[in-house]
Structure 1
Amino acid sequence: MITLRPADLAREHGLSTQAVRNYEQHGFIPPAERTPAGYRIYTELHAAALRAYLALIPGYGYAVGGRIMHALSGGELDRALTHLDRGHSQLLRDRETLDSVRKAVGHLMAESDAAPEREVDVETRTIGELAHRLGVTPATLRNWEGAGILVPERDPATGYRGYRASDIRDAELAHLLRRGGYPLAHISTVVGQIRTAGGTGTLASALDDWRRKLTARGLAMLDAATHLSHYLSLLDPAAPRIAGD
């Protein structure tokens, strides 16, 4: 059996030896055996665990990566796989949200080009006026507000809602996505992305960067799966492995 020092594991990843000891202390790599003098003795199992944990971080984050390693160390393979499945499910939801935003923003920008006078619409609308504009009921707009899709101003004297240009944009986007069958919770996520980006024009230029980040996360998950499979084969030679690994 090949033995390794903390410095050997640290050098491979550009870490400090203290970082390696910390990862062991937190349970991200198995406990090391000790020499009679108290020095740690690491093996290929520890090296594989460290590679797996560090590979998990770009795809799943520090917290989930740690939970996966704890589950594997505790012999809870199903729990580890559940964390992995949830990560892939979240990535899929993010991809679907990106696709929704891309289509919706493209539709709204096309409408804006076809009717540029609407861009100058800075008048605040009442709930009844906005409902009439969209062909929905005021109750529908209140439901959208309850879901966090719309955040209208309130008149301090009367308490009446006032919908600004950005609110009208969000309402039109919500109306478009509702016609496409999207649930309110999903639409709220999309509208939140647009608010964060500062509008449809700004968001359109940020979509490519968003897509690149999702692609990088997906590739990181693939890389992590390879390292996890190798670590699992050392941890439990009888455990199932990825084909070809």
Structure 2
Amino acid sequence: MGQNLKSRERLRPVDLARGHGLSTQAVRNYEEAGILPAAGRTPHGYRTYTPVHAQALRAFLALVPGHGHQTATSIMRAVNQGEIDDALRLVDESHLQLLDDRRTLRAVESALRDLDPTPVTASDAGSGPDGTFIGPLAGRLGIRPATLRKWERAGLVRPRRDPRTGYRVYDAADVRDARLAHQLRRGGYLLEQIAPLIAQVRAAGGLEPLEAALNDWHDRLSARGRAMLAGAAELEAYLREAG
């Protein structure tokens, strides 16, 4: 009885928009996108909303930080269409993605910890003052030269060519990338998964600057996890309100 009375309470678009920093047009857009259930209409054709719509808006806005706009939209559409299992599956998939991201971060951290701190130097056989050649580097890593060539095709290492001999020459950054790729491969990661991680190391300017990026990565994953908890609470409140 109380819920029926509450659901009949009329709210204007501005009532929903107020407090969330939204425009009334944004509220109407959310309704048209299926994020909010369909609004009622006055005899003059004006939209009227209820506390159920207000809770739907709170749920959507709480879901966005953890799941992203597109997934949050899909979750709300599924709920409003009565497809609760589909909505919960989408939530589960986001949690799985977060877990996979955490595993990737741990793999990178583990690979960095396990890197051999001793660089390949000119004293190594087959190395010169400007870098090392494919044979000595492959031997140092315990892999075949063909593996290094495969990694090169995948973009994991980018050796230059000696202008006189045409031989591949790996400088210090190439050796670093090869070592990191080797550790990640030992951890079971595929080449296509390793390539963007190597790119992050290059963009950071090396391993030491990457530490700040890893700390930031930790913080962002934690923020996503907490945002998912907040979104789940508001979604559950909406399910109760709409039910």
Same fold (TM over 0.5): yes
Aligned AA for 1:56? L
Of residues 45, 54, 69, the one that matches 2:76 is 69
Q: What whole-Å deviation, never above 9, does each CA across 1:152-179 have from its counterpart, x for those lacking one?
A: 4456898754433222111111222333
Check if 1:55 corresponds to 2:62: yes
Deviation (angstroms), 1:185: 4.0
**Which is worse superposed, 188-197 or 146-155?**
146-155
Q: Secondary structure at the match of 1:46?
A: helix
Check if 1:163 corresponds to 2:170: yes
TM-score scaled by length of structure 2: 0.83
User: How far apart are the structure 2 equivalents of 1:161 and 1:144?
Assistant: 13
Check if 1:87 corresponds to 2:94: yes
Q: Quote the residue 1:242 is aligned against.
A: none
Of residues 180, 197, 207, the one that matches 1:190 is 197
Q: Quote the residue 2:156 is aligned against.
A: 149
Aligned AA for 1:10? A
Larger radius of gyration: 2
User: How far apart are the structure 2 equivalents of 1:144 and 1:133?
Assistant: 16
Of residues 5, 8, 14, the one that matches 2:15 is 8
Q: Which runs of 5 or more residues in structure 1 are unaligned?
A: 238-245
User: How far apart are the structure 1 equivalents of 2:192 and 2:129?
Assistant: 28
User: How far apart are the structure 2 equivalents of 1:167 and 1:160?
Assistant: 14
8 Å Cα contact 2:108/2:184 also seen in 1: no
In the superposition, relative to structure 1, how do residues 151 and 72 fare at CA in structure 2: closer, same or farther (>3 Å)?
farther
In the superposition, relative to structure 1, how do residues 159 and 6 fare at CA in structure 2: closer, same or farther (>3 Å)?
farther
Q: Quote the residue 1:233 is aligned against.
A: 240
User: How far apart are the structure 1 equivalents of 2:232 and 2:13?
Assistant: 24
Q: Quote the residue 2:130 is aligned against.
A: 123
TM-score scaled by length of structure 1: 0.83
**Which is worse superposed, 71-80 or 176-185?**
176-185
Tell me the C-alpha RMSD between the 2 structures: 2.6
Of residues 226, 234, 237, the one that matches 1:219 is 226
In the superposition, relative to structure 1, how do residues 234 and 125 fare at CA in structure 2: closer, same or farther (>3 Å)?
same
8 Å Cα contact 2:121/2:131 also seen in 1: no
User: How far apart are the structure 1 equivalents of 2:129 and 2:11?
Assistant: 68
8 Å Cα contact 2:120/2:132 also seen in 1: no
Number of equivalences? 231
Check if 1:40 corresponds to 2:47: yes
8 Å Cα contact 2:133/2:169 also seen in 1: yes
User: How far apart are the structure 2 equivalents of 1:83 and 1:10?
Assistant: 26
Aligned AA for 1:41? T
Aligned AA for 2:217? W
8 Å Cα contact 1:29/1:46 also seen in 2: yes
Q: What whole-Å deviation, never above 9, does each CA across 1:160-209 have from its counterpart, x for those lacking one?
A: 54433222111111222333444444433432332232210110122211
8 Å Cα contact 1:100/1:190 also seen in 2: no
Aligned AA for 1:79? D
Deviation (angstroms), 1:128: 2.6
8 Å Cα contact 2:107/2:187 also seen in 1: no
User: How far apart are the structure 1 equivalents of 2:164 and 2:83?
Assistant: 60
